[in-house]
A = this chain, B = another copy of it.
């Protein structure tokens, strides 16, 4: 028997599109809500130059602008984002506790919208040259490479979007993909190939990043050949996808699948009563559209439980 009372009906961990949408929904239902975010609100989209596939914006919208709109919408219904990083969760029992570096928050339910972290290449030079030519965000660091030659590593939509953005800035952009056939939208591939300062190395693998103080070249291998060659460049943008954030979740007893994504049912319920998950951390879709869908659904499920 616990004599602790919950200060909140719902605590939402993470203020990306999933968390913000969940917040808008639960606040409109009149629930006492707290949104916690350790970084900037907006999640991954903040780094997106343009979002072209979120329905409702036919002319595309800047990722940062879209994030700002979602934050404004949350604030309009009385929401507030508290800038504190969550360090641990105690989720068993009716009253759950969310612990940040500053505070301990008791709550009746939790929505995990903790997002993902970038996948690394794990090749020589990647760590050493971070911030010295190696980057994981073209929108953030691209402008530093004006007039220079850069490489983008990856095969998906995000890699193509990064490469397209860079092609307006850099003198030359070479996309290096393991795959014979890229895994990105045809429209993106076409637009990239139509530019005259771009090139795609399909079925090629990057093996090392090299230089003195700063990146000067990469070692890259045609996968049909035994030996790698040297390719001169001053920037390497890594866009090879995302991996789950498992630290906090695992120790709290939230079930994840074999790859580390949080297991949820169609109502976004996890294995623990009163704990829901939404957005990239469930490993489904990884799109703004899927994140807002899951955020809304998690909020509907949490509202049903709490009220």
Chain B residue with minimal CB distance to A70? B55
Assess the B285–A293 pair: CB atoms within 8 A.
Answer: yes
Assess the A25–B54 pair: CB atoms within 8 A.
Answer: no
A52 to B77, CA, bound (A): 10
Could you tell me how many residues of chain A have their Cβ less than 8 Å away from some Cβ of chain B? 44
Which residues does chain B contribute within 8 Å of A295, judged by CB atoms? Answer: 55, 289
Assess the B58–A186 pair: CB atoms within 8 A.
Answer: no
Minimum distance in angstroms from A132 CB to a CB of chain B = 35
Given A297-B285, A297-B290, A300-B285: A21 touches B186 (CB 8 Å cut-off): no
Q: Which of B53, B72, B77 contacts A24 (CB 8 A)?
A: B53
> Which A residues from 150 to 188 make CB contacts under 8 A with B?
185-188
A53 to B186, CA, bound (A): 32
A18 to B53, CA, bound (A): 13
> Which A residues from 1 to 55 make CB contacts under 8 A with B?
17, 20-21, 24-25, 27-30, 52-55
A284 to B66, CA, bound (A): 25
A25 to B70, CA, bound (A): 22
Q: Which of B27, B76, B290 contacts A58 (CB 8 A)?
A: B76
Q: Does A287 lie at the interface of the complex (its beta carbon under 8 Å from any beta carbon of B)? A: yes
Q: Which of B29, B58, B292, B297 contacts A55 (CB 8 A)?
A: B292
Which residues does chain B contribute within 8 Å of A21, judged by CB atoms? Answer: 55, 289
Q: Which of B20, B27, B57, B293 contacts A291 (CB 8 A)?
A: B293
Which residues does chain B contribute within 8 Å of A284, judged by CB atoms? Answer: 266-267, 297
Which residues does chain B contribute within 8 Å of A77, judged by CB atoms? Answer: 187
Q: Does A229 lie at the interface of the complex (its beta carbon under 8 Å from any beta carbon of B)? A: no
Q: Does A148 lie at the interface of the complex (its beta carbon under 8 Å from any beta carbon of B)? A: no
A25 to B288, CA, bound (A): 12
Chain B residue with minimal CB distance to A65? B56
Q: Does A246 lie at the interface of the complex (its beta carbon under 8 Å from any beta carbon of B)? A: no
Minimum distance in angstroms from A52 CB to a CB of chain B = 8
> Which A residues from 273 to 287 make CB contacts under 8 A with B?
284-285, 287
Chain B residue with minimal CB distance to A72? B58
Assess the A56–B58 pair: CB atoms within 8 A.
Answer: no
Closest A-B pairs by Cβ, 6 of them: A293-B293, A30-B186, A289-B296, A58-B73, A58-B72, A28-B185
